[in-house]
Amino acid sequence: MMRHIATLLSILFLQPILSGQEQGLLWKVEHPQTAKKAYVFGTIHLIPAKHFFLPSGLDSAFEQSSKIFMEIDMDDMENLGKIFGIMDKLFMEDGLSLEDLVNEQDYKLIETHFDNLGMPLSLLKRMKPLLLSALSGTEGNPMALKDGSFKSYEFELAEMSKQKNKSLEGLETLDFQISLFDSIPYTVQAKMLMESIQAPSDKMDELYNIYRAQDIGKMVHGIESEDPNLKPYLEMLIFKRNQSWVPIIEAEMQKGISLFAVGAGHLGGSKGLLQLLKHKGYMLTRVN
């Protein structure tokens, strides 16, 4: 259960927000003078097992890399001390409940939805609504990973790393990722929860197909057009984080070859990782 809670934190950054015409999930980043390099891989945090695949070239990039970086250190998901340390932050402050944020009709709709998932809302109603959004879909069901119906790129890469004795590192901490939720008002989070419950069932299937096609350009209309509630917070949730990762990538390139696996929503667009690295003078090559 502790490991699952940590996984849910990643689901919230699943939606595509890319712009531009970039295609491809795996990229080689090279310094133009020194030829020092790194690899950047765009993941989708949870995906149905039938859609799971490893892009061509990922095995080679993985073998060349001495360190594997993800958004958070996957070992933290096994660290009960760290998980217990963030438990209080999963819940709203001042004793607030979901009942304080939505009308009775909407609460009943949400309650029925979670009852159908086998998760009584009475046990969850004090959780931050964004976390409830993560729990509300099939991919958020605690059994999805356990029964094999869904796979996690992060967990797969972590397991591969352990088998090859590669160092696992995190770009951020669990505590930091949870703190991101606090910048979004609970009322806005509640609206996002309602939208996630009412979203068409084929919406995620479309995303999975686009991901498999590695067609980043088609993701341009993702979150910005489909979830206007979140648009004011994209700078903090996505773009500033991209900026903070660039110097880490640069520093690690000086030490050796590393693979950076982050949500595909961080790669594209004028403020995406790829463009930021280009602006710094690095050469980027799609790995086929």
**Model pTM score:** 0.88
Strand order in the sheet with 283-286: 167-172, 67-72, 258-263, 37-43, 26-30, 283-286
Mean residue pLDDT of the chain comes to 85
Share of residues in the chain with pLDDT > 70 (%): 85
What does the pLDDT look like over 23-36, one tens digit per residue? 899 999 999 999 89
Buried b / exposed e over 120-154, threshold 16 CB at 10 Å, is: ebeebbbbbbbbbbbbbbebbbbebbeeeebbbbb
pLDDT tens digits for 231-248?
788 888 888 999 999 999
Please determine, for residue 188, whether its predicted confidence score (pLDDT) is greater than 50: yes
Q: What is the pLDDT of residue 225?
A: 56
Lowest mean pLDDT among 110-119, 120-129, 144-153: 144-153
Q: What is the mean pLDDT of residues 108-126?
A: 93
- When pLDDT is averaged across residues 154-164 and rounded to a whole number, the result is 95
